[in-house]
Amino acid sequence: MKNNENKLSMDTLASLCKRRGFIFQSSEIYGGINGFWDYGPLGCELKRNVRETWWKNIVQNRENVVGLDASIIMHPKVWEASGHVGGFQDPMQTCQICKKHLRADQVWEGIKESAWFGSLVRAIEGVPDTNEVTFTGPSLLRWAIRDGKKLAPGLALVRNPQVTLSWLAEKANTTDTVNISCIDLIRHVATEQLAQTGLQTPCPHCGGPLTEPRQFNLMFETYVGAIKSEDHKTYLRPETAQGIFAQFGNVLATSRQKIPFGIAQIGKAFRNEINPRNYTFRSREFEQMELEFFVKPGTDQQWHEYWVEERMKWYQSIGLPAESLQKYVYKKEELAHYASACVDIMYNFPFGMQELEGIAARGDFDLSRHQQFSGKSMEYFNQETNEKFVPHVVEPSAGVDRIVLALLCNAYKEEWLGKDNQVLPAEPGKQPPEGFEARTVMRFHPKIAPVKVAVFPLLKNKPELVEKARGVFDTLQKWYPSFWDVAGAIGRRYRRQDEIGTPFCVTIDFDTLTNNTVTIRERDSMKQERIEISKLADKIHETLA
C-alpha cells in the first residue's frame, strides 16, 4: 500500500521483500543487528544480475578495462596513504538526553523528517509544509505545553517557552505575529537559545540538546594474527578503490594495457555508519562496483564527462527511467582539494533524491600518495612520446545495494485488474471496485528480474501434462533462472509470479500434447500468445538485451 502522497512506503516494500525472499534482516532470530542485511533467494539473484550487467558493460564489452579482485583486509599503510586513517571521519553529534548518535550533516534533514517537527508545523499553520507562514506566540505556547511535551520533551522551546516567545515578540516588534518558516524558527531558537542559555541544535528524536560535532572514524578495526596490539591492527576496507591503486603497477605490467585504461572491481566494503537508515540505503556492510580509469593528465575533464554519460545510460538500460534520475554537479567549494570535478547520480527514492553513484576526477592524488608511502614508482612511461607521468584517475563508484533498492522501489506497483485485463492504478487503502481484483507487480526489466520464466502444467493431476511441462522446464532452466509451479488456479500462479517480477509465464495445456505449442503470458501487458516450444528460448532471449 502507498501513503497519502502515493509514495511507496519503505515498510510496504520491506514487507514484500521479506515475504517473497528478497531481503531479510541479518541475524533476525537474535533480534537483528542494525545496519546489516541478508539477501534471500530472489534478492541474491537480483543482486547478481546488477553485478553482471555492470561487469559486462564496464569490463567485458571494453578492450581497455580489466578486472581485479583484491583482498578485503590490506596492509594498514594502504589506509594511511589513502587518508582514511585520521581522515575518514564523519563529524558526529550526540543527544545529551536520549544519547542517540547523529551525523552532523544529517541533523537538519532529520529534524525536518521528525514527528515533533511535523506536529509543530501542523499546529502552527495547519498544513504540512515549511513555507513562510504567519503564526502567533499563543499557538506556539499551546503546542509547547501539549504536543511538544509528548513528542519533543527535550526541546528548548518546550522546556523554556518564554525564551522563544520573547525572542519572537522582539522580532515581530509588535506583540504576537511574525513571518518565518518553521525550520527557520527552530534554527533561530537553537542559535538564540545557544547564545542565551547555552542550549544546542535540537535532537531529531527527542528535541534534546546535541553536543558539538565530534570526529568519528568509520573504519571497522581488526587484528591480524594472535596478538591484539596496535602493531597488528588493520581495517576492513571502507571502499574497494584502494585495492586497485595498490595493484596499479602489477596490473599495468601484466595486462599490456596503455593509458587510457581502467581497472574495475566489485566487492564488499564496510563502514561503521553512525546512522544506518532508509532500509538498505545506508548499511554498515555493503557492496561497491568501482572503476578507476587512468588517463593522461589534462584529459581529465573529457573522460569525466564521458563516464558520467556512460553511467547515466547504464542506469536507464537496467530499467530506471530518465525522469527518476538526476545529476548533482559539485560546486568548486564542495570538491575535495585534489578533485577537479565530481558528479553524483541520484535516484528519486520515496525518501528523497539520494546518491546511487559518485563519479569523481581525482587527479593523481591516490597514485601519488601510494608512491610516497610505499616508495614504489606509480609512473607510467609512454614509449611513443617518451613521456613519464603519474596518471590521473576518473572514478565512477557505485553501490550495489543502493541500486538494488532503487530497482525494487521503481518496480513496485499495485494495480486493479478487471476482466479483459483492464488495468486501473490501485487507490491507497481502498478495495478494488466490483469485478476487479488487486495485483502487486514488480515491473523489473527482464534483464534484472530474478526469475525469467515460470512453467505451469495446466492441471497437476494429469501426468501427461506434468511430464510435458517438466520437459519444457528442464530445457529452459539450462538457460535461465526458471520457476516450476503446479499449485492452484493459473490466475493465482500468475499473481505469485507478478509479485516477484517474473516477466514470462508458460502454460502447458492439452493442445501442447498434440501440436507442441504453449501459451506464453507477458507480465506487464498480460498478453497471451501461443508459440512453439522450440521458439520459447529465443523469445525470452530477445527481451534480455
Would you say 285 or 509 has its CB closer to ligand ATP? 285
d(CA 66, CA 89): 31
Under a CB-based contact definition with an 8 Å cutoff, are residues 395 and 293 in contact? yes
**How many residues bind to ligand ATP according to rule CB under 6 A?**
16
State in angstroms the smallest separation of the CB of 26 from ligand ATP. Answer: 13
Give the residue carrying C-alpha cell 533467494. Answer: 41
Under a CB-based contact definition with an 8 Å cutoff, are residues 241 and 395 in contact? yes
Would you say 130 or 326 has its CB closer to ligand ATP? 326
State in angstroms the smallest separation of the CB of 200 from ligand ATP. Answer: 24
Please identify, among the stretches 50-58, 281-289, 368-376, 509-517, the one whose residues bind ligand ATP according to the rule CB under 6 A. Answer: 281-289
Sole binder of ligand ATP in the list 20, 205, 271, 304 (CB under 6 A): 271
Sole binder of ligand ATP in the list 47, 282, 370, 392 (CB under 6 A): 282
Please identify, among the stretches 56-64, 184-192, 204-212, 395-403, the one whose residues bind ligand ATP according to the rule CB under 6 A. Answer: 395-403
Under a CB-based contact definition with an 8 Å cutoff, are residues 405 and 316 in contact? no
Closest CA relative to residue 103, chosen from 37, 201, 239: 201
Sole binder of ligand ATP in the list 147, 176, 355, 522 (CB under 6 A): 355
Q: Answer yes or no whether residue 397 interacts with ligand ATP by CB under 6 A.
A: yes
Sole binder of ligand ATP in the list 120, 186, 356, 408 (CB under 6 A): 356
Q: Answer yes or no whether residue 357 interacts with ligand ATP by CB under 6 A.
A: yes
d(CA 374, CA 370): 6
Would you say 406 or 441 has its CB closer to ligand ATP? 406
Residues 195-234 that bind ligand ATP (CB under 6 A): none
DSSP state of 448: T
Q: Answer yes or no whether residue 292 interacts with ligand ATP by CB under 6 A.
A: no
State in angstroms the smallest separation of the CB of 448 from ligand ATP. Answer: 17
Instruction: Give the residue closest to ligand ATP by C-beta.
Output: 399
Cell numbers placing 532: 512453439
SS3 348: strand
d(CA 406, CA 403): 5
- For residue 389, the one-letter residue type is F
- For residue 482, the one-letter residue type is S
Sole binder of ligand ATP in the list 235, 286, 444, 504 (CB under 6 A): 286
Burial class (CB in 10 A: 0-12, 13-18, 19+), 28: exposed
DSSP state of 204: T
Cell numbers placing 86: 585520521
Ramachandran region of residue 352, left (φ > 0), alpha (ψ -120 to 50) or beta? Answer: left
Please identify, among the stretches 9-17, 60-68, 164-172, 398-406, the one whose residues bind ligand ATP according to the rule CB under 6 A. Answer: 398-406
Would you say 204 or 209 has its CB closer to ligand ATP? 204
Query: Which residues of this chain interact with ligand ATP, rule CB under 6 A?
Result: 239, 271, 273, 282-283, 286, 288, 355-358, 397-399, 401-402
